[in-house]
Amino acid sequence: MKNFKPAFLLMMLCCCGVSAWSQFVMVPSSQAAMKDADRTTKDNNAVMLPFVDDFSDYVGNPSSKLWQTSGGCFINKSYGVFTPSVGVATLDAIDAWGVLYDKTSSATFNADTLCSKSIRLDSVMLPYPKKLTPADSVILSFYFQPGGGYGQMWQRLGVTPNKDDSLVLEFYDMALDAWEQVWQTDGMPLDSLFASDSDYVRYVTIVITDEKYFNADFRFRFRNFATLEPSTNENFIGNCDQWNLDYVYLDANRSLQDSTRQDLAFVAAAPSLLKEYQSMPCRQYREEDLAANLAITITNLDSVASASRYMYRIVDNNGAETALYDGGFENLSPFVQTHQYQTYIPHCNPPVAQQPFGIFDTANWSSFSVIHTIKPGVGQDSRTENDTIKFIQRFENFFAYDDGTAEQGIGVEANANSHFAVFYNLKCSDTLTAVDIYFNSTARDDEQVPFYLCVWNDENGIPKDTLYRSEQMTPHIEGLNKYYRYMLRQPLILDGRFYVSLQSKTGSFLNIGFDENNDASSKILGFVANRWEECFLRGAAMIRPYFGSNVVVGLDNVAAERPSYKIYPNPATEWLHIEGSEANKISSVELFNSLGRKVYSGRTAKSIDVSAFSSGFYVLCIRDDEGLLSQYKVIIK
C-alpha cells in the first residue's frame, strides 16, 4: 500500500462493547406494554402466513406487499457482508431522502423503522381454514448484522453502530394500541460478532406464545436507536450507525431447529463485466476493457448437499440475447456445515464471454442486461427470488467507477486550496460538458461549503495543467444516492488521461459519496501540503465525468431534432463555412479550443477566419433563434 498518510479523511464512527444476547426469545404474556407516539393503523389488506422476505429481488423502499413503506429503511444489495442471501434491509441514521434526522445528536435518538403490514395471526387458510393458537408453534426468525464491515479500517464496508446504539424488535398490542419491545441488541463491531459466532450474521428466533397477539392485526417492527459521536467538524458526520437485516420469516408449525431452507441463493450483487468501470461511454469502449473472469458468490442454505446449475446470459436493450454461458451442474455443500460458498470455478469464477455484446455499435449509447441464475439440479427451491441477480452494463455518456450507492463519505483534508482528484483514461478525444457528483448529507447539512470544480491534464501520473476551473460552487443534495450535474461553462476537448478535482476554498470538509464495494483507490489523488498523494482507502468516489450533452452524442453525433448544418472544410486551414437550410436562423456561433477557451464569438456569421488559430481540435457551437444548440468537432491545420 502506497503513501499511508492522513491526506484523506473517511467518515467512520467507531464503537466498542458487545451486549449479551440469546438464541431465541419467548414472548411472555406479562411483558409490560410500551406506549409510542408513532402509532399505525390497521391494514385492511392483511398479509396471510407465511410472511417471508429476504430482500433479494428489489431495492429502494421495502415491498408494499409486506411492509409499510415509510420509515427510512433502505433495501439494497450493497451494505451486507456475507449475509444468507443477496440483499438486506439497512437501518441507519438517515431518512429515506438520505438526510440525517433532525433529532440527530450525541444523545440517543430513534432513527429508522421497518414495520410490517397487518398480519392475520388469528387464522390460516391453507391447507384448510384453521384458527391459530399459541399451540401452533408460531415463530418469527431473522438474521441481523451490525454495519461497519471487518478487517483493516481502510478496507471496511459501512459504519459500525456505537455501543450506545441499539436494534430493537417490537410487537403491536392491538388491545392496548401500543408497541411492546420483545428483543434488543446493542451496537458492536462485526469483528466481535464473528469472534463470538464464527459467522458474519446472527440468527434470532422468537416464539410467540401470548394469546393477545393472535388476532387479525398482528404487526411487528424493527427500529434502530442511534447516537452521534461529538466531532470538531460536523461535515465529517454522514450516513452512520448501520444495521442489516436479512431473511425475515414468520410462520406456524415451526421449530427452533428449522434454521435451514431448501434454497440455493446468490450472496453478492452481480458484478460489472468491465475491468475498471461500472459504466463508460460507448465511444471509449474497447475489448481490452473487459474483465477476464467474474466473481460470483453462491450458497446452499439447506442441510444437505445439492446439485446446482449456474448460467448467465446477456441481453441487449431490444431483448435480443447476445451471449450465453452455461457453467453446467456441480454439487454444492450446505453452508451450515462447511461455512463455505461454491468453490467450483465454472460457477464461482466464470469467464467473460468473448464478444459478449455481439456486434456493438459504439457510435450510439446502449445498455445490456447481464442475468445470472442458479437452479437446483433436482427438486424444488423454496425461494426463487434469490436465484437471479442482474447487472445493467451501461455504455452511455459517463464514466463511473462506483455502483451508485454510498456506504460512507470521503474527502480531502479540510485545508484551503487542497484538492480531491479522480483520473480517467480516454481512448479517443471527446468533449467533457459536465460532472455528476453525489454529496452526502452531513450532521451540519451545510450546503454553502464553497468549492471549485477543476479539470487537469496529466504528466507522469499526476495532474499538471489546470484546463478548467469553475466559478465558486456549493454542494447540492438531491436525495439518497442521487447525483447533481455541474455543467461546465463551455465544452472541453480532452484526450488521454485527465483528472477531475474538487478544490476546497475555505478549508471546510467536502463530504463526497464513497462506494466501498468497488475499489478505485488507485485512481484517487489528494493534493495537500503542495504534493499529490495516492488514496489508501478502499472504494470509489462518486464523481462521474459526463460527455456530450442532453442533445449531443459524443463529438460528432447530433440529436435528430436539432438543426443540421454542413461544416466545411474539415480540417480547415483558412476559412470554416457553415451552410444549411436553417442557417438563416442562427443566433450565435462560438468556437472553443482544446483547453475549453472561447477563441471566437459571432452573431450570425456563416464563415469564420481560422487562419490565425493554432492547429488542433476545436468545438464549434451553433445556437439558433429558438435556443437549440448544435455542436461539431472541427480540426484546424
pLDDT at site 528: 81
Q: Is 147 exposed, middle or buried (0-12, 13-18, 19+ CB in 10 A)?
A: buried
pLDDT at site 231: 58
Residue 551 has pLDDT above 60, yes or no: no
pLDDT at site 272: 98
Residue 530, strand partner residues: none
Q: How far is CA 608 from CA 278, 311, 634, in A?
A: 41, 58, 12
Number of Cα atoms under 13 Å in the Cβ half of residue 589: 22
Higher-pLDDT residue of 10 and 47 is: 47
Question: Residues 589-593: contacts with CB within 8 Å, 24+ apart?
Answer: 589/620, 589/621, 589/622, 589/623, 590/490, 590/620, 590/621, 591/618, 591/619, 591/620, 591/621, 591/634, 592/490, 592/491, 592/492, 592/493, 592/618, 592/619, 592/621, 593/493, 593/618
Pick from 265-274, 281-290, 384-393, 550-559: least confident: 550-559
pLDDT at site 383: 94
Residue 529 has pLDDT above 60, yes or no: yes
Residue 9 has pLDDT above 50, yes or no: no
Residue 444 has pLDDT above 80, yes or no: no
Note the pLDDT tens digit of each residue in 286-320. 999 999 999 999 999 999 999 999 999 999 999 99
Q: Which fold has domain 408-547?
A: Jelly Rolls (2.60.120)
pLDDT band at 1, cuts 50/70/90? very low
Residue 447 has pLDDT above 90, yes or no: no
Q: Which fold has domain 42-251?
A: Jelly Rolls (2.60.120)
pLDDT band at 15, cuts 50/70/90? very low
183 in the Ramachandran plot: left (φ > 0), alpha (ψ -120 to 50) or beta?
beta
Residue 73 has pLDDT above 90, yes or no: yes
Pick from 10-24, 263-277, 375-389, 396-410: least confident: 10-24
DSSP code per residue over 216-240: TTB-EEEEEEE-----S-GGG--S-
How confident is the model over 341-367, as a mean pLDDT? 92
Residue 37 has pLDDT above 80, yes or no: no
For CATH 2.60.40.1270, the residue range(s) in the chain are 560-636
560-636 falls under which CATH superfamily? Penicillin-binding protein Tp47, domain D (2.60.40.1270)
pLDDT at site 603: 75
pLDDT band at 212, cuts 50/70/90? very high
Higher-pLDDT residue of 151 and 211 is: 211
pLDDT band at 374, cuts 50/70/90? very high
Name the CA dihedral angle for 220, 221, 222, 227, rounded to a multiple of 10 degrees: -140
Note the pLDDT tens digit of each residue in 318-334. 999 999 999 999 999 99
Q: Which fold has domain 264-395?
A: Immunoglobulin-like (2.60.40)
Which set of grid coordinates corresponds to residue 534? 495516492
Note the pLDDT tens digit of each residue in 349-358. 999 998 999 9
Largest CA distance in the chain: 94
pLDDT at site 446: 53
Let me know: does 311 contact 324? Beta carbons within 8 Å: yes
Which set of grid coordinates corresponds to residue 456? 487537469
628 in the Ramachandran plot: left (φ > 0), alpha (ψ -120 to 50) or beta?
beta
> In one letter, which amino acid is 349?
N
Measure the CA–CA gap between 521 and 69, rounded to whole angstroms: 36
pLDDT at site 440: 86
pLDDT at site 236: 63
Helix (DSSP H) and strand (DSSP E) numbers for the chain: 3, 42
pLDDT at site 148: 93
Higher-pLDDT residue of 9 and 44 is: 44
What mean pLDDT, rounded, does the chain reach? 86
Let me know: does 463 contact 532? Beta carbons within 8 Å: yes
pLDDT at site 445: 56
Measure the CA–CA gap between 403 and 438, rounded to whole angstroms: 12
How far is C-alpha 628 from the chain's CA centre? 34
Output the pTM of the full model: 0.82
Residue 214 has pLDDT above 90, yes or no: yes
For CATH 2.60.120.260, the residue range(s) in the chain are 42-251
Residue 554 has pLDDT above 80, yes or no: no
Residue 243 has pLDDT above 90, yes or no: yes
> In one letter, which amino acid is 476?
H
Residue 422 has pLDDT above 80, yes or no: yes
Measure the CA–CA gap between 238 and 411, rounded to whole angstroms: 12
Residue 538 has pLDDT above 60, yes or no: yes
pLDDT at site 507: 66
Let me know: does 539 contact 436? Beta carbons within 8 Å: no
Higher-pLDDT residue of 470 and 96 is: 470
